[in-house]
């Protein structure tokens, strides 16, 4: 009988740790691990993690039938500006799109305003003659005689990659395609990104910025993905590697190498998918996903088992949290707020004597002082060690030796000396600041989305999520928390539940009244065929589902509302249905619809994906019985600030129905759950920890 591989492997490379998970054909986790990320060559850390889980499970490379990978490499390259030397090509007369931008300052009265770094300076902004109109009709032919001069300018600029963004290429890409062919023949080593492939939408500034960002990371990501695939193939891997995307789906290595901008924020997307799946399993319709790793913390709102989506976000903002101060990118992405608050976030005291935490991180090398790898700056992890929340002998599965004295010394030198605090008080200060930062980010994100946060279930994961969940929840007003099994590698586990999917958003202007329904159906069918072709590369025989949307607005408005389209060809009868659906949603978001206004559609979206793995419902009820701690440990109570003895519980030994009250520490190989003094814990039938805030707490 032919052996059919059943195992699936997921690897998430983060800024501090690389998470690896191996599951069998039923989705049962056979082994998981956290290994330090290796910044010089991220593949090394990924390979070490894969070898570890295979050895632990007693399996071989040939047993792996599925491999999903997510990485922060593209994100970090954009933030740290470690990409290629990029030039841009636009239509003649439009050289200064980047300089003009939105024609406004993001901080109107800031005389020291720092403009966003948009990667391409004016000296590398080139133009070429030719023009399409908004309908895709050629007004002026492409100036092929200028190619020789353009090639010379590109050579002289030293560009490794070029972003081509011509007017209305989303309606007719013929000029961009011709330009790519001509440049490719003359400069075969040049990496070329075309805007109609990267972001085929109206709004030239956003489309150009997205294409530039893609071109900036494309050479780096193409090399990385090729080396990654080659390295694992040498080990004996013989299945395709799929890449996690920012929109919550998976795609092939070829598509990822061509459109690496789709990989930005791919790791956090896995965590949001996991939280959405758990929400569906438990029947929780309103959830807050809280993912705290070593470098950042990510929060995402999930309603009706679907993470909140966005079509645009900004990278590397010059002014933190200030909209308009970063590089705008228009791609489908799971909407979340991400802040520099992780275990490795560095604490310090500014010139005004204020305690600060992050966004700078100690990363994987040298890491927090407690890691004993040469780090001297005080970090959040050093504070948690000093407060007693981390057991040194169990941290990172015992592969990292925790130096408690080094953690205390770093806090004394980096924080305590400036504020006249001992190590314990300095640690408390760091903890208070970072927890409040995460809670306030969650509150702000909810308010901006017009939603409540206090009534939601928090699903916490990541290496530091369970350790900080109760502290963040208290400040955010959240009273219920769920910690799923293997929370330390939550994002990697989420990869395994993601569908193979691809989304195309394309501009085609139409007024709702008098809409060309037949032409629109042909347009949507073409988009569906394109997306399906990409998905079939990673899911050749899977059942596919399609979701279509229209981006609608009142005539003259600047932004759109997403409205779902029926799963069939449109008819003229659907026009009134779309009008009603738009006005209902507009009224929900802005209190009232506007009567008598024309409605227009600017963009259309088609999302094709394979079906996600089947859900198993989780029962919440069952009998309860008190759990017995295996030991006790003195910690600093996060409620009172006083030393207390906390019970220590081994998660592997907690049975279904076990209950306990805080203060307590529930330990496992990759993380620790802190049950604060004002919380109780209960284990459900599949091993999840449910934390509930107590109404009355004895102090």
Strand pairing report for 309-310 and 306-307: unpaired
Contact 234/61 with Cβ under 8 angstroms? no
Token digits of residue 276: 């959405």
Tell me how far apart the terminal alpha carbons of the chain are, to the nearest angstrom. Answer: 65
Selection from 365, 370, 376 nearest residue 392 by Cα: 370
**In this structure, what token pair is assigned to residue 137?**
């009709």
Task: Evaluate if residue 319 carries a pLDDT over 90.
Answer: no
Name residues whose C-beta falls within 8 Å of residue 233's C-beta, 6 or more positions apart in sequence: none
694, two tokens: 């107590």
Q: Find, among 396, 371, 344, the residue nearest to 49 by Cα.
A: 396
DSSP string, 385-401: HHTT-S-TTTGGGGTS-
Q: From 442, 46, 368, 8, select the one nearest 231 (Cα to Cα).
A: 46
| In the predicted structure, residue 699 carries a pLDDT above the cut 50 | no
Distance CA(665)–CA(638), nearest Å, equals 13
User: What pLDDT does 76 receive?
Assistant: 79
Average confidence score pLDDT of the chain: 90
* pLDDT at residue 390 tops 50: yes
Residue 490's pLDDT is 87
Here the tokens at position 328 are 């705008």
CA–CA dist 372, 369 (Å, integer): 6
The H or E element spanning position 289 is strand 286-292
Cβ neighbors of 497 (< 8 A, separation 6 or more) are 273, 274, 277, 612, 613
Name the one residue in this structure whose structure tokens are 């040049």. Answer: 190
Our measurement of the distance from residue 517's CA atom to the centroid of its chain's CA atoms, rounded to an integer in Å, reads: 36
Instruction: Supply the DSSP symbol for 146.
Output: G
For 529-585, write each residue's pLDDT tens digit: 999 998 888 888 888 999 999 999 999 888 889 999 998 999 999 999 999 999 999
| Three-state secondary structure call for residue 132 | strand
What whole-number distance in Å separates Cα of residue 313 and Cα of residue 315? Answer: 7
Tell me whether strands 689-693 and 671-675 are parallel, antiparallel or unpaired.
unpaired
Q: Give the mean model confidence (pLDDT) for residues 45-49.
A: 94
Residue 450: band (very low, low, confident or very high) from pLDDT cuts 50, 70, 90:
confident
Helices (H), 477-601: 490-495, 517-538, 574-590
Taking CA 541 as the corner, what is the angle to CA 535 and CA 543, rounded to the nearest 5 degrees? Answer: 75
Q: What angle do CA 424, 427, 431 make, to 5 degrees?
A: 140
Give the rounded distance of the alpha carbon of 561 from its chain centre. 23
What is the chain's alpha carbon radius of gyration, rounded to the nearest angstrom? 26
- State the pLDDT at residue 2: 45
Give the tens place of pLDDT for each residue, 399-437: 677 889 999 999 999 999 999 999 999 999 999 999 999
What does the pLDDT look like over 172-192, one tens digit per residue? 999 999 999 999 999 999 999
Q: What was the pLDDT predicted at 154?
A: 96
402 in Cβ contact with 412 (< 8 Å): no
Dihedral sign for Cα 361, 364, 366, 368, please: positive
Kindly give, in sequence order, each residue whose CB lies less than 8 Å from that of residue 412, ignoring residues fewer than 6 positions away.
Answer: 422, 423, 426
Angstrom distance (rounded) from CA 342 to CA 273: 20
Report the alpha-carbon distance of residue 468 to residue 590 in Å, rounded. 35
The band of 320, judged by pLDDT with boundaries at 50, 70 and 90, is low
d(CA 524, CA 505): 10
d(CA 67, CA 325): 37
Rounded CA gap, 591 and 13, in Å? 43
Distance of alpha carbon 686 from alpha carbon 484, whole angstroms = 9
Q: CA-CA distance, 507 to 201, in Å (whole number)?
A: 5
Chain Cα centroid distance, residue 664: 31
Q: Is the pTM of this model over 0.85?
A: yes
Which neighbouring-strand residues pair with 345? 361
User: 380, 375, 395: which is closest to 34 by C-alpha?
Assistant: 395
pLDDT for 317 beyond 80: no
pLDDT one-digit tens code per residue, 335-384: 888 887 888 889 999 988 999 987 888 877 788 998 888 889 999 999 99
Read off the pLDDT of each residue in 602-623 and give the average, rounded to a whole number.
Answer: 78
What is the dihedral angle through the alpha carbons of 268, 269, 272, 273, rounded to the nearest 10 degrees?
Answer: -140
Per-residue pLDDT, averaged over 117-138, amounts to 94
Confidence of residue 621 (pLDDT cuts 50, 70, 90): low
pLDDT, residue 1, reads 39
Angle between helix axes 204-235 and 42-57 (nearest 10 degrees) is 50
- Distances in Å between the Cα of 178 and the Cα atoms of 108, 142, 339, 507 are 41, 8, 42, 21
């Amino acid at each position: 009988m032919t052996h059919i591989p059943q195992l699936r492997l997921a690897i998430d490379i983060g800024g501090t740790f690389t998470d690896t998970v191996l599951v069998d054909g039923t989705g049962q986790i056979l082994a998981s691990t956290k290994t330090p990320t290796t910044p010089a060559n991220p593949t090394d850390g990924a390979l070490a993690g894969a070898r570890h889980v295979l050895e632990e499970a007693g399996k071989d490379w040939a047993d792996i039938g599925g491999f999903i990978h997510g990485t922060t490499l593209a994100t970090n390259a954009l933030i740290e500006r470690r990409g290629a030397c990029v030039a841009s090509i636009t239509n003649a007369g439009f050289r200064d799109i980047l300089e003009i931008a939105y024609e406004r300052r993001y901080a109107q009265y800031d005389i020291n305003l720092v403009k966003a770094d948009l990667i391409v300076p004016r000296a590398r902004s080139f133009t070429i003659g030719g023009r399409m109109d908004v309908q895709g009709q050629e007004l002026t032919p492409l100036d092929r005689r200028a190619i020789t001069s353009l090639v010379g300018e590109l050579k002289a600029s030293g560009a490794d990659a070029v972003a081509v963004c011509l007017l209305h290429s989303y309606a007719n890409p013929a000029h961009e395609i011709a330009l790519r062919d001509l440049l490719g023949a003359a400069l075969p080593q040049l990496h070329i990104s075309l805007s109609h492939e990267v972001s085929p939408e109206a709004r030239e500034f956003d489309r150009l910025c997205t294409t530039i960002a893609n071109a900036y990371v494309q050479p780096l990501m193409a090399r990385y993905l090729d080396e990654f695939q080659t390295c694992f193939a040498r080990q004996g891997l013989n299945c395709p590697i799929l890449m996690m995307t920012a929109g919550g789906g998976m795609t092939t290595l070829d598509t990822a190498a061509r459109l690496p901008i789709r990989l930005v924020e791919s790791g956090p997307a896995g965590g949001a998918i996991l939280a959405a799946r758990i929400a569906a399993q438990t029947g929780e319709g309103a959830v807050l996903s809280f993912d705290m790793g070593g470098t950042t913390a990510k929060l995402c709102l999930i309603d009706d088992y679907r993470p909140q989506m966005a079509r645009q976000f900004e990278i590397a903002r010059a002014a933190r949290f200030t909209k308009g101060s970063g590089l705008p990118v228009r791609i489908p992405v799971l909407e979340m707020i991400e802040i520099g608050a992780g275990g490795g976030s560095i604490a310090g005291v500014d010139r005004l004597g204020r305690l600060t935490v992050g966004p700078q991180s100690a990363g994987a090398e040298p890491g927090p002082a407690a890691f004993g790898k040469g780090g001297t700056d005080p970090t959040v992890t050093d504070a948690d060690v000093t407060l007693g929340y981390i057991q040194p002998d169990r941290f990172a599965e015992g592969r990292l030796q925790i130096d408690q004295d080094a953690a205390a010394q770093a806090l004394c030198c980096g924080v305590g000396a400036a504020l006249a605090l001992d190590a314990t008080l300095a640690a408390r200060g760091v903890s208070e600041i970072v927890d409040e930062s995460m809670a306030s980010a969650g509150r702000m994100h909810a308010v901006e989305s017009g939603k409540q946060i206090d009534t939601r279930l928090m699903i916490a994961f990541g290496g530091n999520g369970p350790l900080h969940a109760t502290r963040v929840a208290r400040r955010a007003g959240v009273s219920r928390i769920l910690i799923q099994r293997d929370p330390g590698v939550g994002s990697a586990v989420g990869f395994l539940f993601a569908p193979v999917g691809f989304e195309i958003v394309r501009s085609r202007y139409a007024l709702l009244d008098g809409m060309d329904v037949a032409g629109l159906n042909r347009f949507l069918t073409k988009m569906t065929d394109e997306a399906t072709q990409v998905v079939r590369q990673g899911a050749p025989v899977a059942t596919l589902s399609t979701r279509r949307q229209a981006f609608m607005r009142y005539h003259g408005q600047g932004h759109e509302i997403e409205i779902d389209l029926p799963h069939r060809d449109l008819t003229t009868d659907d026009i009134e249905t779309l009008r009603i659906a738009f006005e209902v949603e507009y009224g929900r978001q802005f209190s009232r619809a506007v009567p008598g206004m024309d409605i227009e559609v600017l963009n259309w979206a088609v999302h094709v994906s394979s079906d996600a793995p089947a859900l198993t419902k989780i029962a919440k009820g069952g009998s309860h019985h008190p759990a017995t701690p295996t030991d006790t440990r003195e910690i600093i109570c996060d409620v009172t600030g006083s030393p207390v003895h906390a019970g220590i519980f081994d998660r592997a030994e907690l049975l279904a129905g076990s209950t306990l009250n805080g203060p307590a520490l529930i330990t496992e190989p990759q993380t620790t759950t802190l049950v604060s003094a004002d919380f109780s814990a209960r284990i459900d039938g599949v091993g999840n920890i449910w934390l509930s805030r107590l109404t009355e707490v004895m102090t």
